[in-house]
A = this chain, B = another copy of it.
């Protein structure tokens, strides 16, 4: 703990009726109790003609603007001294009945809790937290960020009961050990406008209890924000357990990015609302499906028995945005059975997992059939774009794929009209005497999958009513698409 503010107040000199007069707390109230009739902006003691700041030497005077203003002392009950201000009285000083003595000034040392961090550092640290902190009117503290200062670094925590995100910021300066909650949106806005300026955060205490003060730079802007006690903050801080896996060089985000688009958003089958992390005889895999399409990314082919864990889509999105390219360590959460802790440099996520059984996806992945439809990717995407002209309804995105003079042709019919598009891809020739009949797919799903593919893609299929296997040059990926009836 460091002592930060030291000032000598003249008004304590000719003290009134009590001994322990100077008190740092209740600044505005103090000024008004003193009979000053102007409304004071917090900490702007200079605007009140009756308040007097300590005398300075000439060398000191140049730093007048830079020196933080000392909260005005007042003749108050010692019991009302704010709890986070620490006063040090000089020995031999009598506050009461002071005739002008050789030592006219009483020196009181006030140590206040505060922390100063750089604006851009704070802004970057708050980014993942702002995505977690939600504004729920029923539980106001959910829209808050918890700040814990331990004397050296500031830890920021957001929690929405499903995910807890923690970032740590190195402090430029600070004093005390304290914890408060501040509104996330406002704090994020302040960090945004601060730019490279230092941001000084002072928790409120004592009478000014629920109001924190945030000061940008050299007092360019001074904010007061309502604060909540840290004890109101939900959840518990993660207690990381044993390491499950270490992903280097952004491998985790890379694998999740390949399957994240296939996670279901349908609430009825809640167990599909996440990415399944699965270990078995076929290796370690991430799998996601919404019932119409499925993507499976095998990042390790070694057999490895591990329980299937379903990581919710919100956590997947956070990892994709804030842990891309980073080394990530995944641990058990020692405090909770159904949760995981993801650690990267600067960000720790503790996420609940989805409590459900992911379907046995190996059973729906088909064996490659007799027909293979090699698709020229850019040409196919342009062709599907041409089909997308009638876009009123998402449900009518049924596209018929059929052969016309040995080429693949696409057609689509809607209330608004119909369209037929020629492509440059070949229609597979008859195999074992059997022609491939026209097949139907959801054009939007097919386009999404083709966009995800690396290099040229091919459609392996058995018949028009069986699931298709979509392959690209990436051997780790398996993609399955269900057909539509034509």
Residues of A in contact with B (beta carbons under 8 Å apart):
41-42, 44, 46-47, 183, 186, 189-190, 193, 211, 216, 219-226, 382-383, 385-386, 388-391, 404-405, 411, 416-422
Which residue of B47, B186, B190, B193 is within 8 Å of A404 (Cβ)?
Answer: B47
Which residue of B224, B383, B421 is within 8 Å of A418 (Cβ)?
Answer: B224
Q: Which residues of B contact A219 (CB under 8 A)?
A: 422
Distance (whole angstroms) from the CB of A28 to the closest CB of chain B: 11
Q: Which residues of B contact A391 (CB under 8 A)?
A: 189
Q: Which residues of B contact A222 (CB under 8 A)?
A: 419-421
Among A44, A193, A221, A405, chain B packs the most CB atoms within 10 A around the CB of A221
Q: Tell me whether A223 and B41 are in contact (CB under 8 A).
A: no
A42's nearest neighbour on chain B, judged by CB, is B418
Distance, CA A186 to CA B419, complexed state (A): 11
Distance, CA A216 to CA B389, complexed state (A): 13
A194's nearest neighbour on chain B, judged by CB, is B386
Label chain A's interface by main secondary structure. mixed
Q: Tell me whether A404 and B44 are in contact (CB under 8 A).
A: yes
With A389-B190, A390-B186: A224-B417 Cβ-Cβ less than 8 Å: yes
Distance (whole angstroms) from the CB of A419 to the closest CB of chain B: 5
A411's nearest neighbour on chain B, judged by CB, is B41
Distance (whole angstroms) from the CB of A60 to the closest CB of chain B: 17
Q: Which residues of B contact A388 (CB under 8 A)?
A: 189, 193
With A44-B404, A186-B416, A411-B41: A221-B390 Cβ-Cβ less than 8 Å: no
Q: A183-B416, A190-B389 are in contact. List 18 more A-B contacts (CB 8 A).
A: A41-B420, A44-B404, A46-B404, A183-B417, A189-B389, A193-B382, A193-B386, A220-B386, A220-B422, A221-B383, A221-B386, A221-B420, A221-B421, A222-B419, A223-B417, A223-B418, A224-B417, A226-B416
Q: Which residues of B contact A226 (CB under 8 A)?
A: 416-417
Q: Which residues of B contact A211 (CB under 8 A)?
A: 417
Distance, CA A417 to CA B227, complexed state (A): 10
Distance, CA A422 to CA B211, complexed state (A): 21
Q: Which residues of B contact A224 (CB under 8 A)?
A: 417-419
Q: Tell me whether B223 and A419 are in contact (CB under 8 A).
A: yes
Distance, CA A420 to CA B41, complexed state (A): 8
